[in-house]
Amino acid sequence: MILGEAKTYKRFEDADFRRADALVDAFNDAAIVFASFNESLDDSEKASLSELANRGAKLVILTGNELLNSVGAPYCWYNSGNEEVRSLVSNPELDEISMVSRVTRILYLG
C-alpha cells in the first residue's frame, strides 16, 4: 500500500506530518510518500521527515528533481555522484519501493 501527501510548490506543514504519523500508526506496512515540485526540502521538512523515518516508516521523498525530470526516477539518480545511490539503484535484490525509499532518504535526509 502506498499513501502520501503531495504539494505543488508549497512547503509541507506540521499538519501534513501529523497526518503521516497517523498513517504510520494505522498502516505500519505502507509506504508513505511525500511529493513536491520543489527541488529541495527546507530544514523543517527534513527534520520532520527524519522523525518519521526514525519511527520506521517506509518513507519515499519525491521532489522536482524526480517529478519534473525528463527521464524520471530511478534514471535521474545515476548522475547523483553518490556511489551508495548508484549501488542501490542497480541492486536487483531490492523491491522497487524499498530501493526508492532508501535512495530518497539518502539524497534528501542525508
The CA distance from 63 to 9, in Å, is: 10
Mean pLDDT of the region 33-46: 96
With cut-offs at 50, 70 and 90, classify the pLDDT of residue 28. confident
Q: List, in sequence order, the alpha helices (H) in the chain.
A: 14-26, 43-54, 64-67, 83-89, 96-109
Average pLDDT of the chain to the nearest whole number: 92
CA–CA separation, 110 vs 106, rounded Å?
A: 5
* Per-residue pLDDT tens digits for 56-85: 889 999 999 999 998 888 888 887 888 899
Distances 95 to 80, 91, 98, 100 between C-alpha atoms, Å: 21, 9, 5, 9
- Statement: residue 94 has pLDDT above 80: no
The mean pLDDT value for 29-53 works out to 95
The structure's pTM equals: 0.90
Residue 104's CB is within 10 A of a number of other CB atoms, namely 23
